[in-house]
Amino acid sequence: MPAKARTKPVRVLIAKPGLDGHDRGAKVVARALRDAGMEVIYAGLRQTPEEIVRAAIEEDVDLVGLSILSGAHMALFPKVLRLLQKEKGGKIPVFAGGIIPDEDARRLRRLGIKAIFGPGASLAEIVRTAQELARPHA
Amino acid sequence: MSRARTPSDAEAIFGGDRRALARAITAVESGSETSDDLLRAVYPRTGRVPVVGLTGPLGVGKSSVINLLIAHLRSLGRSVGVVAVDPSSPFSGGSVLGDRIRLERRADDRDVFFRSMASRGAAGGLSATTRDVARLLEAAGFSVVLVETVGSGQVDVAIRSVATTRVVVLVPHLGDEVQTLKAGLFEIADVFCINKSDLPGAETAERDLAELASLGPAPDGWRSRIVRTSTVTPSGIPELWKAIEAHEAFLATSPGHAAERRRRLEEEILGRARDRLTEDLAARLEVDPALRKLVDRVVARELDPGTAAERLLAARRR
């Protein structure tokens, strides 16, 4: 019997805010992060910012990944950041993926989204960024 | 990271601080050095509320049943702490924890706390620390604790030692009645929940289970109840809770229960002592060249593993 594991796997929440119809991309990312040894809490489609923040706090994640295709990112992402702050989770890094125009991406980065991946991003790149972001934050 | 200091962190948990509770669960789950103090502070406040374990094969609808059970309990004014376990990959150690997907929208309800856990290599359908996490939830003031196991095979019965009431969730057409005769999962049910009972075959499943329940020895005097549920219609959830409550009420008056409880705690103490001992021995084996030689000799067939184990233990006593 192996001795009790002392290393703490990275815990990451993957969620889709808003009204997107499918979550293929988010699932592929969840799977890649799993294969990189992370514990991925998959919250699924059509989450409100409140639900996402609640899950992030209860699950005590090291990292939050948001995926969005609908175009509502400028409304929903800042709200997630604001609520995280309010719930004392402001230090949890948030990254995002989806269809996000460059101009919006720049503004979101200024607001505190740590990394943003477009449709062409490689899984290896996403995994590497997630690992870097998940280093101790609290 | 040494966040979970007692007593201040334990007090924050008792006071209903959700962030403190979430962090304490992480500390306990990863065996950080603060977790022992925390569990020491928490233990006296546990052992009072129903800890309901839901187990059963993959895909029978455990998460969906839990979702509806939470809603029912909330309608009765009960607060609910949930811990749901999903498997870790034996290859990468990673895991996708998806039980939250079934959770209905109740973002502002502070009387529900839901935590996902990965099994982290433990067998039996739970992780090694699930029991401690259930205790944290109770100490945080939740009046019912629900524990969902990994979608289990036939012999994943770890929930037996964690829950006060065990619900085995099944669906129609899992097999003929011979399946119900087999050892394992069917033996630990206090309540059988036949889910997806809107599908054909639910009556046959109930009949087969009823026969099983009426045959068996009921050493403690409790006969397993059978409840049909559907999360589509939905139906049967209040009946499921009534069956669980009936079992809890039975425990409160059952003369055998105190002895059983004592036996289980004894098992837990031995288990924890065994874990510590194993860790200690593994650490010695790693650093002590003389002990490493023992392994070499076993590899070379000069010494048998049993004798080597004796010598390892003897080295610890010196």
pTM of the predicted model as reported, rounded to 2 decimal places: 0.90
Name the closest residue on chain B to residue A57, using Cα atoms.
B19
What residues of chain B score a pLDDT lower than 70? 1-7, 105, 153-156, 175-183, 215-219
pLDDT at A78: 95
What 3-state DSSP class applies to B51? strand
Number of other residues whose CB lies within 10 A of the CB of residue B213 = 18
pLDDT at A1: 31
Chain A interface, best mutation among B86, B97, B120, by max A CB count within 10 A: B97
pLDDT at B304: 97
pLDDT at A24: 87
How far is the alpha carbon of B138 from chain A, nearest alpha carbon, in Å?
15
pLDDT at B154: 62
From B153, B121, B135, B181, select the one nearest B55 (Cα to Cα). B153
> In the 3-class helix/strand/coil scheme, how is chain A assigned residue by residue?
CCCCCCCCCCEEEEEEECCCCCCHHHHHHHHHHHHCCCEEEEEEEEECHHHHHHHHHHCCCCEEEEEECCCCHHHHHHHHHHHHHHCCCCCCCEEEEECCCHHHHHHHHHHCCCEEECCCCCHHHHHHHHHHHCCCCC
Could you report the per-residue pLDDT of B164-201, keeping only the tens digit for each? 999 999 998 876 655 665 667 777 889 999 999 999 98
What residues of chain A score a pLDDT lower than 50? 1-5, 137-138
pLDDT at B216: 64
Angstrom distance (rounded) from CA B88 to CA A7: 14
pLDDT at B256: 85
pLDDT at B306: 96
Whether A57 sits inside 8 A of B105 (CB atoms) is no
Tell whether B289 lies on the interface with A, counting CB pairs under 8 A: no
Tell whether B115 lies on the interface with A, counting CB pairs under 8 A: yes
From A71, A25, A30, A67, select the one nearest A47 (Cα to Cα). A67
The tally of CA atoms less than 13 A away on the side-chain side of residue A111 is 23
pLDDT at A21: 80
Could you report the per-residue pLDDT of B47-76, keeping only the tens digit for each? 999 999 999 888 899 999 999 999 999 999
Among the partner residues B32, B89, B116, nearest to A59 by beta-carbon distance: B116
Tell whether A32 lies on the interface with B, counting CB pairs under 8 A: no
Handedness of CA B57, B59, B63, B64 (dihedral sign): negative
- What ipTM does the predicted assembly reach? 0.88
- For residue B279, give the amino acid letter: E
From chain B, the residues in CB contact with A130 under 8 A are none
pLDDT at A30: 94
